[in-house]
Amino acid sequence: MNEVLLKIAGAVEYPAEFSFADLAAVDPRQQIVDVSQIAAGRKGDAVRLAGLLALVKPKVEARYLNLHATADNFHASIPLNAVTEKAIVLYRLDGQPLTVKAGGPIRFFIPDHKACHTDEIDECANVKFVDTIELAATRGFDNRPHDEQEHADLHAKEQ
Protein backbone atom coordinates (compact mmCIF):
# COMPACT_ATOMS: atom_id res chain seq x y z
CA MET A 1 0.00 0.00 0.00
CA ASN A 2 3.07 2.26 0.19
CA GLU A 3 4.24 1.66 -3.36
CA VAL A 4 4.24 4.87 -5.42
CA LEU A 5 1.28 4.80 -7.82
CA LEU A 6 1.15 8.41 -9.00
CA LYS A 7 3.71 11.17 -9.43
CA ILE A 8 2.86 14.82 -9.92
CA ALA A 9 5.73 16.78 -11.40
CA GLY A 10 6.71 19.61 -13.74
CA ALA A 11 5.63 23.19 -13.10
CA VAL A 12 4.71 22.74 -9.44
CA GLU A 13 6.25 24.08 -6.25
CA TYR A 14 6.21 20.71 -4.49
CA PRO A 15 6.55 17.69 -6.77
CA ALA A 16 5.01 14.71 -5.01
CA GLU A 17 4.57 10.96 -5.12
CA PHE A 18 1.42 9.26 -3.92
CA SER A 19 0.83 5.73 -2.74
CA PHE A 20 -2.63 4.23 -2.25
CA ALA A 21 -2.36 5.15 1.44
CA ASP A 22 -1.34 8.74 0.59
CA LEU A 23 -4.35 9.15 -1.70
CA ALA A 24 -6.69 7.73 0.94
CA ALA A 25 -5.21 10.20 3.47
CA VAL A 26 -5.98 13.31 1.38
CA ASP A 27 -8.40 15.77 3.01
CA PRO A 28 -11.83 14.10 3.27
CA ARG A 29 -13.40 17.19 1.65
CA GLN A 30 -11.48 16.31 -1.51
CA GLN A 31 -12.60 12.68 -1.55
CA ILE A 32 -15.50 11.37 -3.58
CA VAL A 33 -16.79 8.17 -2.10
CA ASP A 34 -18.76 6.37 -4.82
CA VAL A 35 -18.19 8.27 -8.05
CA SER A 36 -21.51 7.06 -9.47
CA GLN A 37 -22.91 10.18 -7.76
CA ILE A 38 -21.14 12.38 -10.30
CA ALA A 39 -20.38 9.97 -13.14
CA ALA A 40 -23.26 7.74 -14.14
CA GLY A 41 -22.38 4.08 -14.37
CA ARG A 42 -18.84 4.54 -12.99
CA LYS A 43 -17.65 2.73 -9.91
CA GLY A 44 -15.16 3.34 -7.14
CA ASP A 45 -13.78 6.17 -5.06
CA ALA A 46 -11.72 9.14 -6.13
CA VAL A 47 -9.89 12.20 -4.98
CA ARG A 48 -10.47 15.52 -6.70
CA LEU A 49 -7.66 16.75 -8.92
CA ALA A 50 -8.05 20.08 -7.11
CA GLY A 51 -7.20 18.36 -3.84
CA LEU A 52 -3.96 17.01 -5.27
CA LEU A 53 -3.08 20.33 -6.91
CA ALA A 54 -3.56 22.07 -3.56
CA LEU A 55 -0.74 19.87 -2.22
CA VAL A 56 1.73 20.33 -5.09
CA LYS A 57 0.90 23.99 -5.81
CA PRO A 58 1.04 24.60 -9.57
CA LYS A 59 3.36 27.41 -10.60
CA VAL A 60 1.74 30.43 -12.29
CA GLU A 61 3.01 29.38 -15.71
CA ALA A 62 1.30 25.97 -15.55
CA ARG A 63 -1.34 25.85 -18.31
CA TYR A 64 -1.41 22.20 -19.39
CA LEU A 65 -1.78 18.84 -17.76
CA ASN A 66 0.25 16.14 -19.41
CA LEU A 67 -1.15 12.76 -18.47
CA HIS A 68 1.16 9.80 -18.91
CA ALA A 69 0.32 6.09 -18.87
CA THR A 70 3.65 4.31 -19.20
CA ALA A 71 1.95 0.90 -19.06
CA ASP A 72 0.57 1.15 -22.59
CA ASN A 73 2.40 4.28 -23.77
CA PHE A 74 -0.76 6.39 -23.90
CA HIS A 75 -0.47 10.14 -23.36
CA ALA A 76 -2.83 13.11 -23.38
CA SER A 77 -2.18 16.81 -22.90
CA ILE A 78 -5.14 18.97 -21.90
CA PRO A 79 -5.70 22.57 -20.79
CA LEU A 80 -5.49 22.76 -17.01
CA ASN A 81 -8.08 25.52 -16.52
CA ALA A 82 -10.89 23.63 -18.14
CA VAL A 83 -10.58 20.64 -15.83
CA THR A 84 -9.23 21.92 -12.52
CA GLU A 85 -12.59 21.96 -10.82
CA LYS A 86 -13.99 18.87 -12.53
CA ALA A 87 -11.38 16.19 -12.96
CA ILE A 88 -11.00 13.39 -10.49
CA VAL A 89 -8.41 10.71 -9.88
CA LEU A 90 -9.98 7.32 -9.33
CA TYR A 91 -7.87 5.20 -6.99
CA ARG A 92 -10.07 2.80 -5.02
CA LEU A 93 -12.54 0.08 -5.90
CA ASP A 94 -13.94 -2.15 -3.17
CA GLY A 95 -11.30 -0.85 -0.77
CA GLN A 96 -8.38 -1.76 -3.05
CA PRO A 97 -6.42 -0.02 -5.81
CA LEU A 98 -8.34 -0.23 -9.11
CA THR A 99 -7.68 -3.39 -11.09
CA VAL A 100 -5.97 -3.08 -14.47
CA LYS A 101 -9.28 -4.08 -16.03
CA ALA A 102 -10.84 -1.01 -14.42
CA GLY A 103 -8.01 1.16 -15.76
CA GLY A 104 -6.04 0.96 -12.53
CA PRO A 105 -4.28 1.23 -10.30
CA ILE A 106 -5.03 4.91 -10.98
CA ARG A 107 -7.31 6.49 -13.54
CA PHE A 108 -7.73 10.12 -14.50
CA PHE A 109 -11.37 10.97 -15.18
CA ILE A 110 -13.37 14.00 -16.32
CA PRO A 111 -17.01 13.29 -15.34
CA ASP A 112 -18.64 15.75 -17.72
CA HIS A 113 -16.02 16.21 -20.42
CA LYS A 114 -18.44 17.80 -22.90
CA ALA A 115 -19.03 20.67 -20.47
CA CYS A 116 -15.38 21.68 -20.91
CA HIS A 117 -16.29 23.04 -24.36
CA THR A 118 -12.91 22.43 -25.89
CA ASP A 119 -11.94 19.93 -28.56
CA GLU A 120 -8.82 19.13 -26.61
CA ILE A 121 -10.92 17.46 -23.94
CA ASP A 122 -12.82 14.32 -24.85
CA GLU A 123 -13.48 10.95 -23.27
CA CYS A 124 -10.17 9.74 -24.70
CA ALA A 125 -8.49 12.04 -22.13
CA ASN A 126 -9.81 9.78 -19.35
CA VAL A 127 -6.39 8.20 -19.09
CA LYS A 128 -6.27 4.72 -17.63
CA PHE A 129 -3.17 3.44 -15.78
CA VAL A 130 -2.01 7.04 -15.36
CA ASP A 131 1.28 7.08 -13.46
CA THR A 132 2.51 10.64 -13.94
CA ILE A 133 0.69 13.95 -14.13
CA GLU A 134 3.02 16.62 -15.37
CA LEU A 135 2.11 20.31 -15.31
CA ALA A 136 3.56 22.42 -18.09
CA ALA A 137 3.47 25.86 -19.66
CA THR A 138 2.78 24.53 -23.15
CA ARG A 139 0.97 21.57 -24.70
CA GLY A 140 2.89 18.32 -24.39
CA PHE A 141 3.02 14.96 -26.13
CA ASP A 142 -0.39 13.55 -26.99
CA ASN A 143 -1.06 10.31 -28.82
CA ARG A 144 -4.80 10.06 -28.44
CA PRO A 145 -6.52 8.75 -31.58
CA HIS A 146 -7.13 11.46 -34.22
CA ASP A 147 -9.88 9.87 -36.29
CA GLU A 148 -12.53 7.17 -36.22
CA GLN A 149 -10.22 4.54 -37.68
CA GLU A 150 -7.46 5.12 -35.13
CA HIS A 151 -10.08 5.14 -32.43
CA ALA A 152 -11.59 1.85 -33.57
CA ASP A 153 -8.11 0.28 -33.81
CA LEU A 154 -7.29 1.37 -30.27
CA HIS A 155 -10.53 0.00 -28.86
CA ALA A 156 -10.05 -3.27 -30.75
CA LYS A 157 -6.87 -3.81 -28.71
CA GLU A 158 -8.74 -3.39 -25.42
CA GLN A 159 -10.18 -6.81 -24.68
Which residues contact ligand MTE (rule: CB under 6 A)? 69, 72, 74, 123-124, 126-129, 145, 151, 154
CB of 6 to Mo ion, least distance (A): 22
Question: In whole angstroms, how close is the CB of 98 to ligand MTE at the nearest point?
Answer: 11
Q: Tell me whether residue 34 or residue 72 sits nearer to ligand MTE (CB atom).
A: 72
Contacted by 18, from ligand MTE, Mo ion, none: CB < 5 to 8 Å by type: none
DSSP-based helix, strand, coil % in the chain, nearest 5: 30, 30, 45
Task: Write down the least CB distance from residue 100 to ligand MTE, Å.
Answer: 10
Q: How far apart are CA 113 and CA 12, in angstroms?
A: 24
Q: Which is nearer to ligand MTE, 64 or 129 (CB)?
A: 129
Q: Which does 110 bind (CB under 5 to 8 A by kind): ligand MTE, Mo ion, none?
A: none
Choice between 41 and 95, CB closer to ligand MTE:
41
Distance (Å, rounded) from C-alpha 85 to C-alpha 112?
A: 11
Binding mask 106-125 for Mo ion (x = CB under 5 A): ------------------x-
Instruction: Produce one character per residue of 98-137: b if its CB has 16 or more CB atoms within 10 Å, e if not.
Output: beeebbbbbbbbbbebeebeeebbbebbbbbbbbbbbbbe
For residue 11, the minimal CB distance to ligand MTE (Å) is: 23
Q: Which is nearer to ligand MTE, 111 or 145 (CB)?
A: 145
SS (H, E, C) 39-107: CCCCCCEEEEHHHHHHHHCECCCCCEEEEEEHHHCEEEEEEHHHHCCCCEEEEEECCECCCHHHCCCCE
